[in-house]
Structure 1
Amino acid sequence: MVEILVRKVLNNNSIISEDASKKEVIVMGKGVGFSKKVGDKIDDSKIQKIFVLEGNKKNNQLVKLLEDIPEEYLELSQMIINRASQRLGKDLADSIYLSLTDHLYMAIARYKDGLHLKNKLLFEIENFYPDEYSLGLEALNIIESLFSVKMSEDEAGFIAMHIVVSENGDDIEDFYKSTKLVQNILNIVKFFFKVNYNVESFYYQRFLRHLRFFSLRILSDDKHKKLSLKNDLLPLIKDRYIEAYQCTIKIKDFVYNSFDYVLDDEEVLYLTIHISQVISDIKEEKEGK
């Protein structure tokens, strides 16, 4: 492994150095910059994250953030990110180091000034992303212990949003659009069949997972370049699940009118099957089967 030498100390937990190809990098880790001078070697065991700069605007913003924001906020952010990565079993996008740290710094300052923001998507976040929301609640406890600031569940929702966004490589705006789209589709089904969901149901959770990926596909940049897939099973499914298919057509019309996106046969088929299973499950439970 190439020696990591200090080119600039940003704070106790981050420095600027070079990688093997002489590209400028940000090196983060607890104590990597403590009592270090230009030219000093960094202990490899302390390195937690390395960012290649290469003129990337977000990484340049990260440099400024690391220089300007008190270290305790950076440590808080890293603590939450590490816990989220371990709990979810995946690496989060590097952008969360900038977005979450900046958010936490501003949010804690707001709370100290008595300014509390309502999270308009709190219900959806809590129900659509329970693991991330749970991490958000844990983060509130950490914040209270470190900063003596007690935050509301709205803030747990905001923290969960940053985690979800970093999982999918999206941005906050796409998260809002995706979450509202999923809720709109759930409402179409709910009012079409005049039912209430059992959010603990296996079929509901599977439908929800399908809708989350479905919404991201609709909002993706290459949505108009996709091939229109035909499926020979659709006529059979259409006849077997008549009401579920009719509901899917309402969803198809809504998606086209709202996003100029045409559902192909494959998407119609899978939506119809998911809707049929969710509704059958609700009816069976209602009938006590």
Structure 2
Amino acid sequence: MQMVVNNNIVCSVDDKGNEIIVRGKGIGFQKKKGMTVEEKDVEKIYRMDSQKDTSKLQELLSEIPPEHFETCTEIIEQVENDLNKKLSRRIYITLTDHISFAIERKKQKIEYENALLWEIKNFYSREFECGVRALDIIEKRLGTRLSEDEAGFIALHIVNAQLDTKMDSTMEITRLIAGILSIVRRYYEIELNQDSLDYERFLTHLKFFGQRLYKNKSAKKEDPVFHDMIKERYFTDYHCAEVIRDYIQDTFHHEVSADEMVFLTVHLRRISCAE
């Protein structure tokens, strides 16, 4: 045992010498550094992806009220259950740090406005629902009700943990998607039906498209002949894709490949015909 966080959480090492965080009812009660962790008392072990992350989590646990971490572990487990997905282990650091800071700010009557709240609600609806449920857990366990803006911030942390990206990239992708949808509305002079399957497909494509841009990856390679055929056959939609490409290059300084232009044109064709 390396550190006792509270009665239910301790920092320890496994049989291979890797640092771990261990949770169990009463596992830290009347324990001190150097004592042995009884296996029968262990309910859950948290293993980070690197020694650096483990050290960060241990440092965080030494700085915040232990109930903040316990609350966040409940939230993360609930999210993984709701989404049926395993999240990046870094969320134990990032989300715990964010929520603990948000609670302290709330006590001081300092609240941040989430400028991307509308986009988060519409682009990441399931994650936002998880964020709202997280507010309920926080209120139940800690007696503090955070704002809807915080549900949006929590949703972004969940998105990050699914993609294993940084917060600034996720926020940029969210802004990028909003900009593209605005271009589509103006270009085709239509209102997009957010309840339609075509809209959902297009939104999904844009999310993956944004991820590829920020990870410097490209879509599946296409035949140049196929590219030219798409460009000629769907020239109106391809021109919209060119407007989007120029917007991305000018605003976000990312290049859009010819292969991405093909995929974007096909999705634009589908959604423009549907509307």
User: One fold, TM greater than 0.5?
Assistant: yes
Do residues 276 (structure 1) and 269 (structure 2) align? Answer: yes
The match for 1:192 is 187
The DSSP-based 3-state class of the residue aligned with 2:225 is: coil
1:127-177 deviations in Å (ceiling 9; x for gaps): 111111001111112222233323221111011111111111111111111
The match for 1:147 is 142
The match for 2:14 is 19
Do residues 265 (structure 1) and 258 (structure 2) align? Answer: yes
Which stretch of structure 1 is more off in the superposition, 10-19 or 245-254? 10-19
Partners of 2:21 and 2:45 within 8 A in 1: no
The match for 1:3 is none
Do residues 238 (structure 1) and 235 (structure 2) align? Answer: no
The DSSP-based 3-state class of the residue aligned with 1:176 is: helix
The match for 1:287 is none
Pairwise CA distance, 1:97: 0.8
Among candidates 47, 51, 54, match of residue 48 of structure 2: 51
The match for 2:248 is 255
Tell me the distance in 1 between the aligned counterparts of 2:219 and 2:158.
28
Unaligned runs of 5+ in 1: 1-5, 283-289
Partners of 1:27 and 1:51 within 8 A in 2: no
The match for 2:127 is 132
Pairwise CA distance, 1:113: 2.0
The match for 2:214 is 219
Partners of 2:22 and 2:42 within 8 A in 1: no
The match for 1:83 is 78
Do residues 60 (structure 1) and 51 (structure 2) align? Answer: no
Among candidates 145, 158, 163, match of residue 163 of structure 1: 158
Do residues 107 (structure 1) and 102 (structure 2) align? Answer: yes
The alpha-carbon distance between structure 1 residues 39 and 20, as it changes in their structure 2 partners (threshold 3 A), is closer
The alpha-carbon distance between structure 1 residues 44 and 210, as it changes in their structure 2 partners (threshold 3 A), is farther
RMSD: 2.3
Give identity over the alignment, percent.
36
1:184-225 deviations in Å (ceiling 9; x for gaps): 1111111111111111111111111111111111112x45x9
Pairwise CA distance, 1:125: 0.5
Unaligned runs of 5+ in 2: none
The DSSP-based 3-state class of the residue aligned with 1:238 is: helix
The DSSP-based 3-state class of the residue aligned with 1:151 is: coil
The alpha-carbon distance between structure 1 residues 242 and 227, as it changes in their structure 2 partners (threshold 3 A), is closer
The alpha-carbon distance between structure 1 residues 114 and 204, as it changes in their structure 2 partners (threshold 3 A), is same
* TM-score between the two structures when normalised by the length of structure 2: 0.90
Partners of 1:32 and 1:43 within 8 A in 2: no
Pairwise CA distance, 1:242: 2.4
The alpha-carbon distance between structure 1 residues 202 and 44, as it changes in their structure 2 partners (threshold 3 A), is farther
Pairwise CA distance, 1:52: 6.3
Pairwise CA distance, 1:248: 0.5
Which stretch of structure 1 is more off in the superposition, 132-141 or 35-44? 35-44
* TM-score between the two structures when normalised by the length of structure 1: 0.86
Instruction: Work out the number of aligned pairs and report it.
Output: 273
